[in-house]
Amino acid sequence: MMILSMTLPPKDAFFETIIYLINTYASFFIRGIYITLLLSVVGTLGGFILSLFLTILRTSEIDQRRDQGWVRVLKHTGRIFSHVYITVFRGTPMIVQAMIFYYGISPLRLSWWTPLIAGLTVVTLNTTAYIAEVLRSGINGIDKGQMEAARSLGFSRSEAMFLIILPQAIKNSLPAIGNEFIVNLKDTAVLSVIGVFDLFRATQSSTSSNFRIVEGFFIAALIYLFLTFITGKLVNGLEKMSSKEKVNQHV
């Protein structure tokens, strides 16, 4: 097989070209898949963790009677920060964020500030904003009696949040967070603009010398489709699991 496809097939031989590209540039595609998965996994997990902090900031409530002046200022600042953060990151394209971050920090000449690190940073910060929105609606879906019961036992607001509310909200939000992962699989393609060697960039590299662009990106499309299809199945499984439990709650 390897030997058969060593020379570039003629232009109208679509499938032969595909086999040729796969054989010749297998290492590129594998590297591209690895980087795309890395961006999506790190972006979704990192975004999830950071979104927890953002959620704590934006769900804090100022206690008019008990909070000292500086606590109020801190809580107020936190709320404004989270609001601005979410508005900015959801309101601008990730490709624009990538350009600003990568070329904004590059002049500092930090040896570790590579396109990949910049890409991981941008996808994480971007996903944080989206998952924070998911978590907010998850928290809104939790009956307020849960918070009241926790407060009546003597838990503070933040203890109740961490011990009672968030675990339930996260569980209910898992399918939506899984969807963010699927979105990341596809949308991290834009990070190739700053030179991240993801699946998109790998495909570009594979076709840059032979100009078989359609065939190359046909392969990329199949790979993207495979990845999103598999994760989609997993997310559906999660959804079924959680809806099954909800049915049980009403029996």
Partner 1 sequence: MSKHILEIRNVHKHFGSQLVLNGVDLDVSEKEVVTIIGSSGSGKTTLLRCINLLNEPDDGHIYFMGSDLMDPKTDLEKLRMHIGMVFQSFNLFNNKTALQNCILGPMKLLKQSKEEATENAMRYLTKVGMQNFAHQQVTRLSGGQKQRVAIARALAMNPTIMLFDEPTSALDPEMVGEVLSVMKDLAKEGMTMVIVTHEMGFAEEVSDRIVFMDQGVIAEMGTPQEILKNPKEERTKAFLKRYRSNTLI
Applying CB under 8 A, which residues contact partner 1?
65-66, 143, 145-146, 148-156, 159, 163-164, 167-168, 171, 245, 248-249, 251
Nearer to partner 1, 96 or 163 (CB): 163
Q: Which is nearer to partner 1, 101 or 162 (CB)?
A: 162
Query: In terms of CB distance, is 177 or 199 closer to partner 1?
Result: 177
Cα 131 to Cα 4, 20, 90, 134, 194: the distances in Å are 48, 41, 11, 5, 24
- Taking the C-alpha atoms of residue 116 and residue 123, their distance in angstroms, rounded to an integer, is 11
Q: Which two tokens stand for residue 127?
A: 């996903």
Nearest distance from C-beta of residue 53 to partner 1, angstroms: 21
Task: Compare residues 157 and 186 and give the one whose CB is closer to partner 1.
Answer: 157
Residue 157 Cβ, how far from partner 1 at the closest point, in Å?
Answer: 9
Nearest distance, CB of residue 79 and partner 1, angstroms? 20
| Smallest distance, partner 1 to C-beta of residue 68, A | 9
Which three-class secondary structure state does DSSP give residue 203? helix
- Identify the CA nearest to 41 among candidates 76, 193, 49: 49
Q: How many residues does the chain have?
A: 251
Identity at 6, one-letter amino acid code = M
